[in-house]
Structure 1
Amino acid sequence: MSHDPELADDWEYTLQVPSDPMAPCIARRTLRTIFEEHGFLELADTAELLTSELVTNAYRYSDGPASVRVKRDGDRVRVAVWDTNPRLPSLDAAPRPDEEAEQGRGLELVQWCADSWGGYTLRDQPQGLEGKLIWFELGARRQQRVP
């Protein structure tokens, strides 16, 4: 595949995923490809991990499809996950998982690893979307790929 990093300084991709247990895996692989092709390898592992956590939550706690939007704007990359459940999670109200637990730390990971993050409820949108959107940002420095 030909890759010219000068072709697109700012870009945006959207991935629609069904309510399916494979959605987090598909999202991780898609994010990896986007970050590799645009020369942001130093962010790929973190972006994959955080996106996987958000898409997993969308699968577990909503009853419909989800979407993942990845957008570069200047020196930032923002990943946003939309799902059909309008209830925003709260770090403050959630009980801390015990040290042996295999789940329950997704938003803590987002909080620790992202440069910034947040979320909001969507209601009565012109596009008909309702639910919530959780997003995170990572600082971006493009690395030149070796062909």
Structure 2
Amino acid sequence: MSFGPEHKPKPPRLPPRWFIRTAWYAHRGILRIFRGRVGLWPPRGTKWGTLRLTTVGRRTGRQRGVIVAYFEDGDNLVTLAMNGWGEGEPAWWLNLLARPDATAELVGGRKLVRARAASGDERARLWELWRASDDHLDAHAARRPSETAVVVLEPRPTE
């Protein structure tokens, strides 16, 4: 079957927002119940890993934890501020824009990090890294009204 030039492929389906949010809460609960022994994993090949990122709330000043997918780029950790491909920026990214110092909890321990948005050639290179793990990355990103930030978490010295 061939399609004419007017055919536009449908974007890949995403689960309903309530399901995505429930999965986030369940993942955090598993991590809490098993005290970090289950729920985090390192990236392997083109498969991303997960880390627990602790930021400081931009309004409350309280610590806030979230689990995000990541890849390693040398000593840096790289994630996407995608908010489940929904509208708006994720709260953790807004927190990092206000206060870029954070803690990343990985399978092998904790790292003190400083966040920044990748730009230019670096952003394009890191976007390709993510694209290798998700054939639908561009289609999912097109759902968002603004460009998805590629967040680089650089190691910072211990305090």
TM-score range, shorter chain: 0.3 to 0.5
Instruction: Specify the structure having the higher radius of gyration (Cα).
Output: 2
Higher relative contact order (CA 8 A, sep 6+): 1
